[in-house]
Amino acid sequence: MRKPFQRIPRDGYEQKLIDMAAELLPACARTPTMSLESAIVVKEGHGSKITDMSGNEYIDYLLGSGPIFLGHAHPAIVKAVRETLEGGSSFLLPNEPSILLAEELVKAVPCAEKICFGNTGSDATLFSIRLARAFRKRDKILKFEGGYHGQGDHVLMSNQWTKETKAYPAPVPNSEGIPKSVEEDVLVAPFNNLDLTVDIIEKNRDDLAGVIVEPMQRTIPPQPGFLEGLREITARHEIPLIFDEVVTGFRLAYGGAQEYYGVTPDLCAIGKSMSAGHPISAVCGRADIMEFAEGIRRITGNYVSLTGTYSGNPISCTAALAALKELRREGVYESVFAKGTKLKNALQKSLDKAGIPAQVLGEPPAFQPWFSESEIFDFRSSQASNPMLNFQLLQELIDRGVLKGHEKFFISTVHSDEDIDFTIDVIDDAVQALKG
């Protein structure tokens, strides 16, 4: 039995590090609660737990925002990486791990015929959009309101942090510093609204380079027929359909959301869970689109540039190969789904019992509570929810020894039954505290 959590007060050194972070790191000192009072500096992570500098151990459902699907410092990954590291870390040349990883991705991911590596999810979505533009010889991209695809200028529009909305299909930038001209090439449609999406695609089909979608948008699942309809209309007009599987890839199933929901896109972006926390991502897809990245075209023309100094480095590729080997073990996904289902249902039950209107949405490996009375099925319906309650819940959980992100609970392969049972009790207590 895990002992009840008694938070050790922050010690002087952790406080000093937090003060330094607040001074030196404007973007990341406050994560995940946005409050410096509750900021923690992580010392290390093992399995399903992380420890802060003052010695507090938390059950971790943040999992580095998803990548730590196999738990922290998984022994098989540490061993494989350590061995590869002995032979050098970066070459900008073909190496065995990168070639074997590409072979495994082609086997695993339904749309994958060819692969290009990047380092972050943002690289992979950017690459997929550039490939689609080159293939179609057009510029406009359609994305869905509330969907997040990383930091590229064209996709940092109308994402989950959008405050004001405009009439579809006009985008709303989510950051200062994005040139106004970028907005002209972005169209926005409502997730799960096939009729309006088809209408926007039909009206703009001569200008569209591609359609990018998170197949499960944040934690909002696709309604039956939505992804199928999107596949049908994009195929009809030969517009590449891009699945952003940075979160869902290797998480909802070994073949990602495209296997789980049974819809195959033309291109997809993957990252996070494929590599147990090592920086690597990939764009995978149809050979006739991916071929634009062939190096020789730099000389012959018709070339799409997707290079990066560290892309395909042997360390990250080794980590990914070792991670995928673990994920191919018998029963891995069944176990993650069983634990996720138990926790997701318990969270909903605690919220119902406390009389707090909320819906726990997502799939068992990644889900979150949305604090709203009305049904949530797209971004605009989600605006009725209260994000502050999510932050409060997060704070109450941290005070009780459980860490999650400001959105999701991520379930790993190494969360134990004891972790889940402890968390269920903690959640019940934390949810009661939300009422007060």
Ligand X SMILES: Cc1ncc(COP(=O)(O)O)c(C=O)c1O
* Selected binder of ligand X within 69, 127, 148, 367 (CB under 6 A): 148
Restricting to residues 1-20, which ones interact with ligand X according to CB under 6 A?
Answer: none
> What gap in Å lies between CA 116 and CA 36, rounded to an integer?
39
Is residue 280 within the footprint of ligand X (CB under 6 A)?
Answer: no
**DSSP state letters, 271-299:** -GGGTTTSS-EEEEE-HHHHGGG-TTHHH
Binding test (CB under 6 A) with ligand X, winner from 247, 257, 289, 336: 247
405 binds ligand X per the rule CB under 6 A: no
Q: For residues 121 and 364, which CB has a smaller minimum distance to ligand X in the complex?
A: 121
CA 56 – CA 3 distance, rounded (Å)? 12
- Closest to ligand X by CB, 247 vs 321, is 247
Q: Residue 47 carries which DSSP code? A: B
Among the residue ranges 119-127, 172-180, 402-410, 413-421, the one whose residues contact ligand X (CB under 6 A):
119-127
Q: From CA 122, how far away is CA 272, in angstroms rounded? A: 11
The CA–CA distances, whole Å, from 308 to 80, 118, 253, 361 equal 23, 7, 28, 36
Inter-axis angle of helices 417-435 and 332-353, to 10 degrees?
A: 20
Q: Which is nearer to ligand X, 14 or 244 (CB)?
A: 244
Q: Whose Cβ is closer to ligand X: residue 71's or residue 118's?
A: 118
Of 94-102, 105-113, 115-123, 171-179, the window that binds ligand X (rule: CB under 6 A) is 115-123
Catalytic position from the list 49, 114, 140, 148: 148
Tokens of 371: 């604090």
Measured distance CA(309)–CA(118) in Å, rounded: 9
Q: Is 148 a catalytic residue?
A: yes
**Residue 184 CB neighbours (<10 A):** 11
Q: Out of 244, 266, 378, 419, pick the active-site residue.
A: 244
Q: Is 149 in the site for ligand X (CB under 6 A)?
A: yes
Using CA atoms, how far apart are residues 272 and 67, in angstroms rounded to an integer?
Answer: 4
Q: Per rule CB under 6 A, is residue 62 in the interface with ligand X?
A: no
Q: Is 244 a residue of the active site?
A: yes
Part in contact with ligand X (CB under 6 A); list of ranges 70-78, 240-248, 313-321, 419-427: 240-248
CB 150 → ligand X: shortest distance, Å?
Answer: 3
CA–CA distance, 339 with 344 (Å, rounded to integer)? 9
411 within 8 A of 366, measured Cβ to Cβ: yes
In this chain, which stretch among 45-53, 56-64, 147-155, 416-424 interacts with ligand X, using CB under 6 A? 147-155
Q: Is 122 in the site for ligand X (CB under 6 A)?
A: yes
> Is 419 an annotated catalytic residue?
no
Instruction: CB nearer to ligand X: give 339 or 408.
Output: 408
Is residue 316 within the footprint of ligand X (CB under 6 A)? no
Coil, helix or strand at residue 190 = coil
39 versus 247: smaller Cβ distance to ligand X: 247
Task: Dig out the tokens for 12 from the structure.
Answer: 């002087």
Q: Report whether 283 contacts 118 (CB < 8 A).
A: yes
- Smallest CA-to-CA distance from 358 within 253, 435, 268, 267 is with 435
Does 214 interact with ligand X (rule: CB under 6 A)?
yes
Catalytic (active-site) positions: 148, 244, 272
By CB under 6 A, name the binding residues for ligand X. Answer: 65, 120-122, 125, 148-150, 214, 244, 246-247, 271
